[in-house]
Amino acid sequence: MIVLGLTGSIGMGKSKAAAMLKFLRVPVHNSDHAIHHALSPKGEAFEAVAVMFPDAWDKKKRVIDRKKLGEIVFNDVAALKKLESILHPMAQKSQQDFVRAMKARGRRIVALEIPLLFETGADKRVDYTITVSAPPAVQRRRVMMRAHMTEEKFQKILARQMSDEEKRSRSDFVVPTGMGYAATFRALKKIVRDVKCVK
């Protein structure tokens, strides 16, 4: 089985690329969705996060307030590291379970959508890495259209992420997402065809 690692900085088009891969019949695992599930009341991370971050636990609704949790860790690197120490191993397990399940179904190729692919060392667990990238002006326009986004918040997010330039330099494939859907789709289609030919 071929495992692709899909990544890219904020606003670069990971979700659109993931949707295109699914259209190309490549099953895609979304790590953000796995983390959201882990934080749900029945999720594996719920109790640990509720205990570690009591201010993010909505006692009335008995849920983790993800917005409040994000606010807590956004300006506190130590708190973010603690949260990541809980969530990253769970995301990794979810990815591994997904790969095993798809392999059991006889799928030849799958993709793992991981925002922090290189930052967490997940690139070592995939066969090929794909970085989606767009010009800074396009990236900024996309991000600033998001609800509750500010210039200050955007810059802080960028400062915490590996630069787009470094991600591109470390990737096996770079997919442009700033030249329209057709160009992005063609690039992804070629990647899927090429890696299938290798194995």
Q: What is the CATH number of the domain that holds 154?
A: 3.40.50.300
Same domain flag for 129 and 182:
yes
Same domain flag for 98 and 138:
no
Distance CA 1, CA 3 (A): 6
The pLDDT value recorded for residue 198 is 67
The pLDDT value recorded for residue 58 is 86
- Cα–Cα distances (Å) from 46 to 50, 51, 133, in that order, read 6, 9, 34
Q: How far is CA 151 from the centre of its chain?
A: 22
- Inside any domain, residue 44: yes
Mark the ranges of the chain whose per-residue pLDDT is less than 70. 198-199
- Range(s) of the domain holding residue 169: 1-27+109-192
Among 71, 106, 141, the domain boundary falls at 106
The pLDDT value recorded for residue 62 is 86
Same domain flag for 175 and 136:
yes
Distance CA 8, CA 10 (A): 7
Same domain flag for 143 and 120:
yes
- Inside any domain, residue 199: no
Same domain flag for 61 and 80:
yes
Distance CA 116, CA 96 (A): 16
Give tens-digit pLDDT for 12-68.
999 999 999 999 999 999 999 999 999 999 899 999 999 999 999 888 888 998 889
Same domain flag for 113 and 181:
yes
Same domain flag for 66 and 102:
yes
Among 89, 106, 123, the domain boundary falls at 106
Q: Rounded to 5 degrees, what angle do the CA atoms 85, 17, 89 make?
A: 15
Distance CA 133, CA 184 (A): 10
DSSP secondary structure string for all residues of 34-101? HHHHHTSTTSTTHHHHHHH-GGGEETTTTEE-HHHHHHHHHT-HHHHHHHHHHHHHHHHHHHHHHHHH
Same domain flag for 149 and 116:
yes
Residue 7: CB atoms within 10 A of its CB come to 28
Same domain flag for 123 and 88:
no
Same domain flag for 94 and 114:
no
Q: Determine the residue type at 93.
A: K
Among 106, 137, 160, the domain boundary falls at 106
CB half-sphere exposure, 94, CA atoms < 13 A: 22
- Inside any domain, residue 62: yes
- Inside any domain, residue 137: yes
Give the residue among 54, 6, 29, 44 at the shortest CA–CA distance from 195: 6
The pLDDT value recorded for residue 199 is 58
Number of structural domains, the chain? 2
- Inside any domain, residue 198: no
Same domain flag for 74 and 97:
yes
